[in-house]
Chain A
């Protein structure tokens, strides 16, 4: 239903843009307006790249024009100094820019937020000084006398031919951008924007996708830069100024940050607006109006023009989807089996774990094991160190001393992502869902690790990618049905109740097909009937072959469920055993449960 809507919307966008691009030079044959169209097209190539990293992943890499500069200068010099064919020069220029982005990307994208913004800006300003100061770039004069654009000798430098060339490349960027956006890489980028912690918990390699998008964006910016210099038939250090970067960002914001089409729409709108102001003899107003529009759009319409259009489109075509949804109770569908490669029956083995904050030993010399196929509970009063223990197991905090073995492998030095990839899923006490994606997409993020196709097949939309995508979709839908959320696929998680959101999170972790599932206080915030359904769900998860480790302080919940209980207090292990043994352990009763027997406690 939603897919059909998306497909129709996308088809409509393609038709509108293709017809528009074909018709524009026929309607406006004059060289001035063709020039305006060419400017918009060159900018669109670049803004589409900006959508991927800034718009989808919210990474403030704002020095996009730096790569336009690298590509622009590279192709200008290749044409004038080495007599290269302009098209080949453009290609080599973008290879150079992408290599540059790849080298600088890994360290620079470790930075976040405003620090990343400043670092990319500094890089850009350094390149401008470099181009001014060194000899081979021609200093302040730059490179002049570029040949007209040509493709392997085929002249494309005429206004109309160049317009079509530029827009063909712009639509090619849109095609690549859309393919990425709709793939698991696109979901990974949105996951990075929403919560890198949650992204890591399902095995998404956030650093890798950031660098990939930095490189893709650099490639597009570089092609855009080459197109600009071939149109100007010259370049100098002022062409790709800081203002140029700001204009790209403005265009992307106004068009719609969260959508690839937004890049193309924004570029067209911005260039059109600029020419309008020039025509009205108000060129000085350009910067004020651009800045004010940026602020205004950010405040009132964060999804930009495209967001506005697609909301309107959804209202007309899709009507209200929410009204058709009914949440079915637990459906007894089965899920694909989990990998069971046990290590002598021991799923997890924690030995002498230690974690200290200053003088406080939050976890002090704790050892326990989780048997394969069991439901093990880690209980203890508030401040006992349960959640810290959990974070140590999952790699979210470094272990001070001791070891953690998962399926026979030492994992204490691994980051959460690698631990997730080994088959350990987790849920979070306070819920970490991706609020910028639908429920189904959230769960599909959990299935991320089952797919193999990388950036290139994804970017070009190869059939293998579609097959994997369909498999992930089926698995995610199955997981949602398994937890009892049939019909909620197309909703945003924030529109669900807290209890249902918790189920989405469990479904997301299940989509990993984890050998071990860590659940951090799954019953917290749930009412009695929800808690009962949750118990049933946990039992069914275990019946599927997934070992479960719970942190919980709802005693009644644990006692009806767990095969094995580990009790912690003040950072130390106080007792361990079957529920019966724990129930009757005088130490546990005294320290944690009070003097009455557990079964009469409602906790």
Chain B
């Protein structure tokens, strides 16, 4: 009974954790190549879910709706880099961060105008049935979430490991300055990473929508939880960020199951705050301080 309850909480937590993991990965890759923490990261999840759901509502086929959502996410990522981040590249760091918050607000606002205030849903890709795994009952869509996450992670890590461009991204994560001096075209990488993380977050948003609904104001929650995942992973290693994101999904699910769903966000945010305050000194000496900078 206890184990069943545990699994019934763990597996859905793992499913939402997959989305947080992709957001966390986006944070880390973005910060590595540009030195900016992109607070619009979670909005791309929202954007993907809302775009697909809205298009399906307009009788567009699922596959085209998914393609359009991913394309829009990638395009918006590129727009963010070109229109908002590139112009403030030399501005004080706090201005760069605030710019990403402004861009997040624009994405939310545009979605609100186009798709409206109501939460939207998508039917499960393979129907809305459930299946049983080790005694836990899960929606079939969970398999799609896991599959898409596995695919995106494999693609990302394969890219990082086996391509020259991927190696350049990793070089940036070790030392941004040195990588630039070694001839890494940081501008091109930033564009690539922003577009890629925008697109993959959008895909995550599409596959999770049959389970949790999409809404114009849902992005901030993804931004925060993905951030927690990234920071638990040290904000540097993509792999650690993924684990951190999944961990947050689990914590959130256990908090809602064993405590109460009302207090769930309190617990997760409290965990973040406690962690930040306790680790404050260490973070300041590490890379986070360098990126947060003095400016």
Which residues 30-85 in B have Cβ within 8 Å of A in the complex?
37, 39, 83-84
Residues of B near A250 (CB, < 8 A) are 102, 105
Which residues 238-295 in B have Cβ within 8 Å of A in the complex?
260, 262-263, 265-266, 269-270, 272-273, 276-277, 280-281, 283-284, 288-289, 291-295
Q: List 14 A-B contacts (CB under 8 A).
A: A111-B276, A115-B231, A115-B276, A115-B288, A119-B272, A129-B266, A133-B262, A250-B102, A284-B109, A288-B113, A291-B102, A295-B99, A298-B95, A299-B87
Chain A CB count within 10 A is highest, among B84, B102, B277, B293, for B102
Query: Is the contact region of chain A dominated by helix, strand, or loop, or is it mixed?
Result: helix
A196–B112 touching, CB < 8 Å:
no
Per the bound structure, the CA–CA distance linking A115 and B295 in Å amounts to 14
Given A122-B269, A126-B266, A196-B294, A246-B105 contact (CB < 8 Å):
yes
Residues of B near A302 (CB, < 8 A) are 91, 95
Residues of B near A112 (CB, < 8 A) are 284, 289, 292-293
B109–A291 touching, CB < 8 Å:
yes
Residues of B near A144 (CB, < 8 A) are none
Total contacting residues, chain B, CB less than 8 A:
52
Given A112-B292, A285-B113, A298-B95, A125-B269 contact (CB < 8 Å):
yes
Does B97 reach chain A (CB closer than 8 Å)?
Answer: yes
Per the bound structure, the CA–CA distance linking A249 and B102 in Å amounts to 10
Residues of B near A193 (CB, < 8 A) are 92, 295
Does B104 reach chain A (CB closer than 8 Å)?
Answer: yes
A287–B263 touching, CB < 8 Å:
no
Does A292 reach chain B (CB closer than 8 Å)?
Answer: yes
Per the bound structure, the CA–CA distance linking A115 and B95 in Å amounts to 14
A295–B272 touching, CB < 8 Å:
no
Residues of B near A58 (CB, < 8 A) are 92, 94, 295
A132–B262 touching, CB < 8 Å:
yes
Given A114-B97, A133-B262, A126-B270 contact (CB < 8 Å):
yes
Interface size class of A (residues with CB under 8 A): 35 or more
Shortest CB-to-CB span from B215 to chain A, Å, is 14
Does B227 reach chain A (CB closer than 8 Å)?
Answer: yes
A292–B231 touching, CB < 8 Å:
no
Shortest CB-to-CB span from B136 to chain A, Å, is 27
Does A290 reach chain B (CB closer than 8 Å)?
Answer: yes
B292–A114 touching, CB < 8 Å:
yes
Query: Is the contact region of chain B dominated by helix, strand, or loop, or is it mixed?
Result: helix
Does B108 reach chain A (CB closer than 8 Å)?
Answer: yes
Residues of B near A125 (CB, < 8 A) are 224, 265, 269
B281–A118 touching, CB < 8 Å:
no
Residues of B at the A interface (CB closer than 8 Å) are 37, 39, 83-84, 87-88, 91-95, 97-99, 101-110, 112-113, 220, 224, 227, 231, 260, 262-263, 265-266, 269-270, 272-273, 276-277, 280-281, 283-284, 288-289, 291-295
A195–B294 touching, CB < 8 Å:
yes
Does A197 reach chain B (CB closer than 8 Å)?
Answer: yes
Given A112-B292, A126-B273, A132-B262, A117-B106 contact (CB < 8 Å):
no
**A-B pairs, 8 with minimum CB distance:** A113-B292, A291-B105, A287-B109, A288-B109, A294-B102, A291-B106, A114-B37, A129-B266
Which of B105, B220, B273, B292 touches A123 (beta carbons < 8 Å)? Answer: B273
Residues of B near A249 (CB, < 8 A) are 98, 101
Q: Nearest B residue to A293 by beta-carbon distance?
A: B102
Q: Nearest A residue to B289 by beta-carbon distance?
A: A112
Does A215 reach chain B (CB closer than 8 Å)?
Answer: no
Given A122-B224, A287-B112, A292-B102, A113-B93 contact (CB < 8 Å):
yes
Residues of B near A354 (CB, < 8 A) are none
A119–B276 touching, CB < 8 Å:
yes
Residues of B near A287 (CB, < 8 A) are 105-106, 108-109, 112
B292–A115 touching, CB < 8 Å:
yes
Q: Nearest A residue to B281 by beta-carbon distance?
A: A110
Shortest CB-to-CB span from A304 to chain B, Å, is 12
Residues of A near B99 (CB, < 8 A) are 294-295, 298-299
Shortest CB-to-CB span from B29 to chain A, Å, is 15
Chain A CB count within 10 A is highest, among B37, B95, B105, B283, for B105
Does A286 reach chain B (CB closer than 8 Å)?
Answer: yes
Does A28 reach chain B (CB closer than 8 Å)?
Answer: no
Per the bound structure, the CA–CA distance linking A289 and B112 in Å amounts to 12
